[in-house]
Amino acid sequence: QPLPSEPGEEEDKPSSLLDSWGTGDAWADFLAWGELAREQLDSMDPGNIFSFIQHSDSECLHVNPHTGGSVVWLINHPWENRIRHGQGSQEKFDVAEALEQGMITSELDEDDIVLGNPQKLKRLLAAGEKIHRRTGKPLFFSNTCTPVVIGEDVESEVKRFARRSGCPILYLTVTPRSMVNVFNDVLVKRRLRAEEETPESRPNTVNLVGFRQDPELDHLRSLLGECGIEVNEAIIPELTYDLVDNLPRAGLNVLYPNAQWQHLYEQLMYSSRLRSIQPPAPFGIAGTLNWLERVLSEFGMNGALSEKVRLRAGEAREAIERLRERIARCRLGIVVRSSQARYLTDPSQSWGVPLVGMLEELGFGLDVFVKVTGRQDAAAAARQIHSFFRQPQMHVIKAFKDFDGMLERIRASSAQAFFSAHFFDWRLTSCGKGIFSLQHFEMGFRGAVRTAERLVRLCSTPFYDRLSCYLQRAKAGTFREGEP
């Protein structure tokens, strides 16, 4: 059986960061999926497995400020908990650990870029070899944009180094496709050895794959426990040798639906004796119940939801019902290009979050604005999105063709907030609209209530509506002076 291979150039997958920043209609991109694909390894936590070395200019390491807690990002990353659970819920900053797991870099300067300096790469690799001899960890080598642009043959030098030194080394470039088999040795080879050494799995035990280590995971673990299911390990995005070695103790992998991590799942399932399922993620009350029932059915425990779980679901419904009047005064908006309609209809494309389905369940009406090229394009996109609505009477779908038309749609909308993956999105704030992102959504019963409360507060905040006149931009991109 062949190892999982790289995906083909599928039409529905971004291939580079240019899908977010470099296309002719980038002004209509609010999802930043190409950038998220480029940064997908940032969503993983493999620091305990590898030593990181990077061939780059120093500025590449300072795109975002580096402090004890991240302050500013270009993108609202869906794997972070800044909005869901607070800035520090996942970040355990320790200076000693940071020094031990930190990255060393070649720190290319202007002369290196203009004149070339292959010795810096050789010195970087030599330093990496010393670290490997001391720690025993494989090297994780990142080749960044600058060496690629100046045409330096980095890959050949890395291959020669690996043959000469015998250091295990993973080579990564700046494209999403280069990330596909980065963890193959861990997720395939080491995991298969662990399965051979662990002949039996514990009954009624699962691994949760693709679930963050945060309060939501604790909630899901509690719900499963109340139904008689034990969680063995939660792996990806957290990744350690111990987690991989312990996976065979469970008899079932429950995968979180996320297209960006699918290649990791395939490596985890390759030739495995463990069964794997990938039900829709447990967002919303109905979604959480369905997820629990799907897991239980794998162990022949159909209809085994505990009374305590049903009680929790009922309490969450009552809490959302108490918000119903306030939700009715709220409206949310989503802007997509016609080629991106799948992000609204396939949750695995939107980091597992069923954007439309969960917002409908909570009772929010939607304004969906679609960037189109013509009538046929508009009709096809509208049909695709409309067919996914369970309550189409609550929603509006409208098209636009150009930048001014998009801003006109947004400005005239009664929605108080629009979806955007961009941290600072003046396209929305200058129109008087707030911003929500995937970070606003939580799993589980408790998460459904918190999501509704969070979105209601956002819609009720008049900051951008009142001050939008100060946030207008002139054609040159500078802010205009406005009158209150």
Model pLDDT for residues 378-420, shown as the tens digit of each residue: 888 888 899 889 999 999 999 999 999 999 999 999 999 999 9
CATH 3.40.50.2000 fits 326-470, yes or no: yes
Give me the mean pLDDT over the 86-94 stretch. Answer: 49
pTM above 0.85, yes or no: no
pLDDT of residue 14: 52
Confidence band for 3, pLDDT divided at 50, 70 and 90 = very low
Give me the mean pLDDT over the 183-210 stretch. Answer: 93
pLDDT of residue 177: 55
- Can you state the percent helix, strand and coil of the chain, rounding each to 5? 50, 15, 40
Q: Which residues pair with 75 in a beta bridge?
A: 422
Give me the mean pLDDT over the 257-275 stretch. Answer: 94
* Position with higher pLDDT, 84 vs 287: 287
* Position with higher pLDDT, 14 vs 379: 379
Phi first, then psi: give them for residue 224, nearest 5 degrees: -65, -40
212 vs 272: CA distance, rounded Å: 23
CATH 3.40.50 fits 47-179, yes or no: yes
- Provide CATH 3.40.50.1980 ranges for the chain: 184-320
- Provide CATH 3.40.50.2000 ranges for the chain: 326-470
Of 15, 6, 16, 35, nearest to 420 by C-alpha is 35
pLDDT of residue 473: 78
Whether residue 61 is predicted with pLDDT greater than 80 in this model: the reply is no
pLDDT of residue 96: 43
Tokens describing residue 137: 């960890």
Of 259, 276, 268, nearest to 183 by C-alpha is 268
Give percent above pLDDT 70 in the chain: 85
pLDDT of residue 194: 96
* Position with higher pLDDT, 96 vs 253: 253
Of 149, 177, 180, nearest to 15 by C-alpha is 177
Q: Which residues pair with 371 in a beta bridge?
A: 337, 400
CATH architecture entry for 184-320: 3-Layer(aba) Sandwich (3.40)
Whether residue 424 is predicted with pLDDT greater than 60 in this model: the reply is yes
SS3 446: helix
Confidence band for 297, pLDDT divided at 50, 70 and 90 = very high
Confidence band for 94, pLDDT divided at 50, 70 and 90 = very low
Tokens describing residue 103: 């990255």
pLDDT of residue 477: 59
Q: How many angstroms separate the most distant Cα atoms in the chain?
A: 73
Whether residue 321 is predicted with pLDDT greater than 90 in this model: the reply is yes
Q: Tell me the H-state helices in 78-117.
A: 95-101, 110-115
pLDDT of residue 180: 60
pLDDT of residue 10: 43
Q: Which residues pair with 365 in a beta bridge?
A: 331
